[in-house]
Amino acid sequence: MMEWTDRHCRFFHRLLTRRAQLYTEMITTGAVLRGDRARLLAFDPAEHPVAAQLGGSDPKALAESARICADFGYDEINLNVGCPSDRVREGRFGACLMAEPALVGECVAAMKAAVRIPVTVKCRIGIDSQDAEASLDTLARMLVTAGVDALIVHARKAWLDGLSPKENRDIPPLDYDRVYRLKRAFPALSIAINGGIASVEHAVTHLAHVDGAMMGRAAYQEPWRLLAVDPLIYGAPAPLPSPKAAIEAFLPYVERELARGTRLHAMTRHILGLFHGVPGARAFRRHIATEAVKTGAGIAVLRGALGHVVDARAELAHIAA
């Protein structure tokens, strides 16, 4: 997610779940091909499995970008066919590609020919006045022909006319049944559902109908929820016993990054929701928000913030809830 799932965020999320697939922010082919690649694409080996999400619509540029990402060590290439922003539309990629299924197929075929790692697509159930039944089936058929390895479907139409991208995050309503029907129509295609999944428990209910579930805002805004992913989805123990333990585990990374010149705030902004709903959460957030932005702020800020969160039992009850 743009501005959110940068490498610091992903490193932190990986402490909370060993198994969930993590995704980069959308990176345009222009940025991959002509930008500061080392800065844009670098990630910590601990982040695996991690997918690079590309934005673009030129098969050649996508193939080359996919190859570069694969060489960087990413585990999956994902093509964005769901972003509704104006800037993205002008570049003829993102959600407007829902109207050009043959081109999306060409893009996927070109990327598949360029890399050995899985190539996946994240799309919407439709755009604007598109018939979400026929058009989504058509897109899926073309993607299967192109060799796509999986499809992630945000179960909400993208509205390119008349709604801002922000409004479009909650309007029009979600239609999970449309994604379930797609899975029934394409049983051999791996399909994950996305949109409005508020908890890992909620994600589990989707798995009766589809192969995977992607969490966006809930994972970012309340990262403690990720501690339930390995136990509830994969039947494996949680990597850490509590959100507090996650902060402790994050400290060596934070120290390393501080030494490289990364500002504390660039890392701590991703952990503000870690104690959401438990006693001391507000003081924890406030402490970080005011202290981490100060010049020279170091890990003492994190330790100080942790001191505000007193009730470890409540944290655990929260995870089990």
Ligand X SMILES: Cc1cc2nc3c(=O)[nH]c(=O)nc-3n(C[C@H](O)[C@H](O)[C@H](O)COP(=O)(O)O)c2cc1C
Amino acid at 224: W
Q: Which of 21, 57, 65, 80 binds ligand X (CB under 6 A)?
A: 80
Question: Which residue, 53 or 65, has its beta carbon nearer to ligand X?
Answer: 53
Question: Which residue, 151 or 306, has its beta carbon nearer to ligand X?
Answer: 151
Strand-by-strand arrangement of the 119-124 sheet? 22-28, 50-55, 76-81, 119-124, 150-154, 191-194, 212-214
Question: Which residue, 171 or 317, has its beta carbon nearer to ligand X?
Answer: 171
User: Of 132, 29, 25, 24, whose CA–CA distance to 73 is shortest?
Assistant: 24
Residue 127, interface with ligand X (CB under 6 A)?
Answer: no
Bond preceding residue 49 cis, omega within 30 of 0: yes
- SS3 (DSSP) at 40: helix
Residue 14, interface with ligand X (CB under 6 A)?
Answer: no
Q: What is the smallest separation between the CB atom of 66 and ligand X, expressed in angstroms?
A: 16
Total residues at the site for ligand X (CB under 6 A)? 21
The sign of the CA dihedral 173, 131, 165, 61 is positive
Amino acid at 126: G
Q: What is the smallest separation between the CB atom of 124 and ligand X, expressed in angstroms?
A: 9
Question: Which residue, 122 or 287, has its beta carbon nearer to ligand X?
Answer: 122
Q: Which of 59, 101, 105, 195 binds ligand X (CB under 6 A)?
A: 195
End-to-end Cα separation, the chain, in angstroms = 27
Residues with catalytic annotation?
83
Question: Which residue, 148 or 297, has its beta carbon nearer to ligand X?
Answer: 148
User: Of 19, 49, 22, 21, whose CA–CA distance to 234 is shortest?
Assistant: 19
The sign of the CA dihedral 318, 264, 215, 144 is negative
Q: Which of residues 88-117 bind ligand X (CB under 6 A)?
A: none
Q: What is the smallest separation between the CB atom of 170 and ligand X, expressed in angstroms?
A: 8
Q: Which of residues 146-175 bind ligand X (CB under 6 A)?
A: 154, 169
Question: Which residue, 4 or 244, has its beta carbon nearer to ligand X?
Answer: 4
Q: Which of residues 252-291 bind ligand X (CB under 6 A)?
A: none
- Which alpha helices (H) appear in the chain, and where do they start and end? 7-16, 29-34, 37-41, 59-72, 86-90, 101-114, 134-146, 176-185, 200-206, 217-221, 229-234, 243-259, 264-268, 281-291, 299-306, 312-320
Q: Which of residues 205-244 bind ligand X (CB under 6 A)?
A: 215-218
Taking the CB of residue 72, how many other CB atoms lie within 10 A of it? 15
Residue 82, interface with ligand X (CB under 6 A)?
Answer: yes
Per-residue binding string, ligand X, 17-56, x by CB under 6 A, is: --------xx--------------------------x---
Q: Which of 197, 228, 288, 292 binds ligand X (CB under 6 A)?
A: 197
Could you tell me the two tokens for 42?
């670098």
Question: Which chain residues interact with ligand X by CB under 6 A?
Answer: 1-4, 25-26, 53, 80, 82-83, 122, 154, 169, 194-197, 215-218
